[in-house]
Amino acid sequence: MNMTTPVLDSRTADIPDRRYFLQTLLEHAVHAQEHNQKLALLLIRLDRFEYINAIYGYESANILVYEIFCRIKAMLRAEDYLAHTGEGEFGLLIPNVLNAGHVLLAINKIQRDLGKYVDINGDELSLKVTIGASLFPEQASSPSSLMQQADLALITAIETEQRHTIFTEKLMQNVASEWGMADEIENGYYNDEFFLCYQPKIELKNGLPYGVEALMRWRSPSRGLVPPDQFIPVAEESGHINEMTWWALNTALREAQAWPVELWGNLSIAVNVSAKMLHHPEFVDSVLSAVSIWGNANALTIEVTESALMLDQERSFKALGQLKDAGIHISIDDFGTGYSSLSYFRDIPADELKIDMSFVKNMLANQTDAHIVNTVIDMAHRFGLLVVAEGIENQQTYNALREVECDFGQGYLMGKPLRHEELIAWINNHDPLQFSH
């Protein structure tokens, strides 16, 4: 239930609220139009304010509101106008700005000078805010559209985990496109527009096939082949990622039944799982159910990114530990880009780490990247973990990774993502000796 923070004393009573802010917004817009000036609107949202309310109570939250108001107010010019427009949110009007660059300077100043600790009931909390901004009349044609655009910029910043966003027409087009894409994804799921490709992984010391990574693809009737980095985030935000992941998991296990095993045995099948899926209450049971239907639990690898794993470490480790106990392999994707530490290595419920391709691609030319790759391989082996290097595109990189005893490799040198029929041909025609030189 959305509750309005109660007024505690004369200090918070003196802070202008949303009603006064909207009235002042209208007055400033009229003045800007009459004098051919630009007006900027910033919406400033305090991160995790709802948790502060819940943990410390409304009294302490109100004191925090007053503290933030005073800190921002101290940065402003006399003609700027600041109000408390919602729970943990402030509206700031900056009249007579020059351009978007001028607005960005104001945003940076607020985020820099506000980013100090505040005492709440004896606890020191760091203050972080997310800001959405828009300009009148450069972008908005009316006070109401100015407010809507700043709101949209703020929402976009929060959803994309950016510290701030300034509204642009391109942002509006992207949002509209994403809204339309969300509906198309739902229709595409039921119209069999999605399919899987499989990228081979091989054992570096002998070139033998080790497994594949299942990669989701979407061929839209109107958009054509849509890149995963465009539709996956939309699927996650719209809630479609759950059903799509279950489909990918079951499809990969089902299609694997047709792969030839005479030459190389059962290949490992890696399926990517998002943070939302990992923390779903039915995640473990659903994976185990799929394995019980299609069998071959030992061939399944669940891949999660390091950042997704660390969003809720205790919950993630518990879920992955249960799958590992059931014989399912666990792989940590994009390793090296997140929170790696010795304690993390010690406790992680995984079988393998995948070194992010950003390090692998430059390891021959960049000594720092090479050192990172070598260190991760050495530490992983000390903790009993296998290592997969992503993004191997040439024989020289392959050879360098083999020399430092990296276990497995994946990349265009070994094979691009292949349709089901293409993968079967690759399995039948693969020659391990081609990587021996």
pLDDT (tens digit, 9 = 90+) per residue, 352-361? 999 988 889 9
Q: Cα separations (Å) of 66 from 38, 60, 93, 97, 119?
A: 29, 10, 18, 26, 13
More confident residue, 282 or 170: 282
Whether the per-residue pLDDT at 9 is higher than 70: the answer is no
Return the pLDDT at 2: 36
Among 35-39, 178-182, 419-423, where is mean pLDDT lowest?
Answer: 178-182
Model confidence at 296, pLDDT cuts 50, 70, 90, reads confident
Burial of 223 (0-12, 13-18, 19+ CB in 10 A): middle
More confident residue, 345 or 114: 114
Q: Which position has the token pair 């780490």?
A: 353
Q: Concatenate the DSSP letters of all residues of 114-173 into one string.
A: H-SEEEETTEEEE--EEEEEEEETTT-SSHHHHHHHHHHHHHHHHHTT-SEEE--HHHHH
Query: Dihedral sign, CA of 87, 88, 89, 92?
Result: positive
Return the pLDDT at 139: 78
Residue (of 389, 337, 339) closest to 364 by Cα position: 389
Return the pLDDT at 394: 94
Rg of the chain (C-alpha set)? 26
Return the pLDDT at 268: 93
Three-state DSSP at 4 gives coil
Whether the per-residue pLDDT at 10 is higher than 50: the answer is no
Whether the per-residue pLDDT at 91 is higher than 90: the answer is yes
For the chain, what is the mean pLDDT?
A: 85
CB atoms within 10 A of CB 23: 12
Max mean pLDDT among 1-5, 178-182, 285-289 falls in 285-289
Farthest-apart Cα atoms in the chain, separation = 81
Mean pLDDT calculated for residue range 383-405: 95
Whether the per-residue pLDDT at 420 is higher than 90: the answer is yes
Return the pLDDT at 241: 85
Q: Locate 382 and state its tokens.
A: 């000390």
More confident residue, 168 or 93: 93
Mean pLDDT calculated for residue range 407-432: 94
As a whole-number percent, the residues of the chain with pLDDT over 70 amount to: 92
Residue (of 53, 47, 59) closest to 11 by Cα position: 59
Whether the per-residue pLDDT at 1 is higher than 50: the answer is no
Return the pLDDT at 385: 93
Model confidence at 284, pLDDT cuts 50, 70, 90, reads very high
Looking only at the bridges linking them, the beta strands covering 300-305 and 268-272 are parallel
More confident residue, 302 or 281: 302
Whether the per-residue pLDDT at 127 is higher than 80: the answer is no
Among 97-101, 226-230, 333-337, 420-424, where is mean pLDDT lowest?
Answer: 333-337
Max mean pLDDT among 112-126, 160-174, 304-318 falls in 304-318
Looking only at the bridges linking them, the beta strands covering 38-46 and 129-136 are antiparallel
Return the pLDDT at 343: 62
As a whole-number percent, the residues of the chain with pLDDT over 90 amount to: 41
Q: Cα separations (Å) of 154 from 46, 47, 133?
A: 11, 12, 7
Whether the per-residue pLDDT at 377 is higher than 90: the answer is yes
Write down the pTM of the prediction. 0.65
More confident residue, 168 or 391: 391
Q: Cα separations (Å) of 64 from 9, 50, 58, 237?
A: 13, 12, 10, 31
Return the pLDDT at 172: 61
Whether the per-residue pLDDT at 292 is higher than 50: the answer is yes
Mean pLDDT calculated for residue range 409-432: 94
Looking only at the bridges linking them, the beta strands covering 224-226 and 268-272 are unpaired
**Which residues lie closer than 8 Å to 165 by C-beta, 6 or more apart?**
131, 132, 133, 153, 154, 156, 157, 171
Mean pLDDT calculated for residue range 257-283: 89
Model confidence at 13, pLDDT cuts 50, 70, 90, reads low
Alpha carbons within 13 A on the beta-carbon side of 146: 25
Q: Locate 134 and state its tokens.
A: 């828009």
Among 22-31, 200-209, 230-239, 349-358, where is mean pLDDT lowest?
Answer: 230-239
In sequence order, the β-bridge partners of residue 225 are: 219
